[in-house]
């Protein structure tokens, strides 16, 4: 008898598998949150050069805000103040409607920027002035994050084949929590970028291992349904992010908020089973047998395991795999795997 037949006998998509999928929803909703998080925490609000130094010199003491901007900042084609440059010398003729300053010398903002905080209280752009000549550094944070994801996917795939799905899933949970918290408390741009790299690396483990753990516990005929349910995590995660981002407009708190479901995921990890397929392929038939008995009892198929022994499981995998090993790559390449 093949292992797939044994899994079908204990019900390949019963209460046991539904519990497994639902528990992993808790962790998987954090994936889309972090994947698009940079759109919120890296948002660039309206900004212009800081003119407070001129106030200190007593030059602008009796001018309104609009007059100060008109005198200190060149205008963009749409009439708004320049975001990245200011006049080398104040252009007081603008106070009298004389706009003959096309040839006036301008300089990059010498004293930093002033930001519009009406929408976002703070972002990484306002925290480290990632605007104008430094705006590429803002986009770099997202790039480095996804480089971490690319590195983490094969790394966690290899490690979970070697040490098991369940322990590496816990490592992914704890790693994501650790590096997300450290990124939220970053004291420099470089520290933030490094922490985002390792956050992406850890999230890759959640992404790939959770899918494979689901697939390896579900019978072939129900894997399409399982895949559809799993794909809904992206929708739930995006809704969760929208709700959080609407309420939290401070980037450090936003990171902590979208990572918080993983605390519950760590608590619920104790109810996640190891992959019975991986256990049998790793010659741990006794542990696989115990998990299958739990599955059978929860799915009201206890009698189906009366004739199945650990030796039967070992023989079933030998027949099914024909000397091949169970792996993450095999699970994703072959739907019958």
pLDDT given at position 31:
96
Separation of alpha carbons 304 and 300, rounded Å: 9
Greater pLDDT, 221 or 188: 188
Which CATH architecture does the domain made up of 3-42+135-333 adopt?
Answer: Up-down Bundle (1.20)
pLDDT given at position 333:
55
CATH 1.20.1250.20-classified regions of the chain: 3-42+135-333
Task: Decide if pLDDT at 310 tops 80.
Answer: yes
Q: What is the pLDDT confidence band of residue 78, given thresholds at 50, 70 and 90?
A: confident
Separation of alpha carbons 202 and 149, rounded Å: 8
- Give CB contacts under 8 A, 24+ apart, made by 301-308: 301/9, 301/10, 301/11, 301/14, 304/9, 304/10, 305/9, 305/10, 308/6, 308/9
Per-residue pLDDT tens digits for 31-65? 999 999 999 999 999 999 998 877 656 666 677 87
User: In Å, what is the CA distance from 31 to each residue of 27, 34, 42, 233, 289?
Assistant: 8, 5, 17, 9, 32
Per-residue pLDDT tens digits for 126-144? 999 999 999 999 999 999 9
DSSP string of 145-168? Answer: HHHHHHHHHHHHHHHHHHH-HHHH
Separation of alpha carbons 218 and 211, rounded Å: 11
pLDDT given at position 27:
96
DSSP string of 6-18? Answer: HHHHT-TTSHHHH
Helix (H) or strand (E) holding 86: strand 85-87
Class of residue 147 by CB neighbours under 10 A (exposed 0-12, middle 13-18, buried 19+): middle
Return the CA Rg of the chain.
28
pLDDT given at position 101:
57
Q: What is the pLDDT confidence band of residue 221, given thresholds at 50, 70 and 90?
A: confident
**Could you say which DSSP state residue 273 is in?**
P
Q: What is the pLDDT confidence band of residue 328, given thresholds at 50, 70 and 90?
A: low
Structure tokens at 38: 């940079």
Q: What is the pLDDT confidence band of residue 256, given thresholds at 50, 70 and 90?
A: very high
Question: Using CA atoms in the order 102, 107, 110, 113, what is the torsion angle rounded to 10 degrees?
Answer: 50
Q: What is the pLDDT confidence band of residue 71, given thresholds at 50, 70 and 90?
A: confident
Task: Decide if pLDDT at 83 tops 70.
Answer: yes
pLDDT given at position 64:
80
Runs of H (alpha helix) within the chain:
3-9, 15-28, 30-35, 38-41, 52-56, 65-72, 124-127, 135-163, 165-184, 189-217, 223-247, 251-259, 261-268, 276-281, 285-298, 310-321, 328-333
Q: What is the pLDDT confidence band of residue 308, given thresholds at 50, 70 and 90?
A: confident
């Amino acid at each position: 008898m093949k292992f797939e037949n044994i899994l079908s006998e204990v019900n390949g998509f019963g209460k046991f598998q539904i519990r497994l999928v639902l528990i992993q929803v808790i962790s998987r909703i954090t994936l889309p949150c972090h994947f698009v998080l940079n759109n919120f925490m890296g948002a660039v609000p309206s900004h212009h050069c800081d003119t407070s130094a001129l106030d200190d010199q007593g030059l602008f003491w009796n001018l309104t805000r609009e007059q100060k901007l008109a005198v200190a900042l060149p205008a963009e084609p749409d009439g708004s103040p320049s975001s990245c440059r200011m006049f080398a010398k104040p252009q007081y003729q603008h106070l009298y409607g004389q706009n003959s300053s096309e040839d006036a010398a301008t300089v990059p903002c010498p004293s930093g920027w002033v930001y519009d905080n009406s929408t976002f209280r703070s972002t990484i752009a306002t925290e480290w002035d990632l605007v104008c000549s430094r705006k590429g550094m803002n986009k770099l944070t997202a790039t480095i994050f996804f480089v971490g994801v690319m590195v983490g996917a094969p790394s966690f795939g290899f490690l979970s084949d070697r040490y098991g799905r369940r322990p590496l899933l816990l490592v992914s949970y704890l790693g994501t929590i650790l590096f997300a918290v450290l990124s939220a408390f970053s004291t420099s741009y470089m520290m933030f970028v490094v922490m985002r790299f390792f956050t992406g690396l850890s999230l890759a483990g959640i992404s790939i291992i959770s899918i494979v753990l689901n697939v390896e516990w579900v019978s072939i005929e129900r894997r399409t349904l399982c895949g559809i349910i799993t794909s809904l995590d992206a929708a739930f995660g995006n809704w969760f992010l929208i709700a959080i981002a609407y309420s939290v407009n401070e980037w450090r708190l936003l990171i902590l908020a979208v990572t918080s479901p993983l605390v519950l995921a760590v608590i619920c990890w104790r109810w996640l089973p190891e992959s019975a397929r991986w256990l049998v392929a790793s010659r741990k038939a006794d542990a696989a047998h115990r998990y299958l008995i739990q599955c059978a009892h929860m799915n009201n198929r206890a009698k189906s395991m009366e004739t199945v022994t650990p030796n039967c499981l070992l023989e079933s995998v030998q027949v099914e795999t024909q000397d091949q090993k169970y792996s993450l790559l095999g699970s994703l390449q072959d739907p019958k795997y």
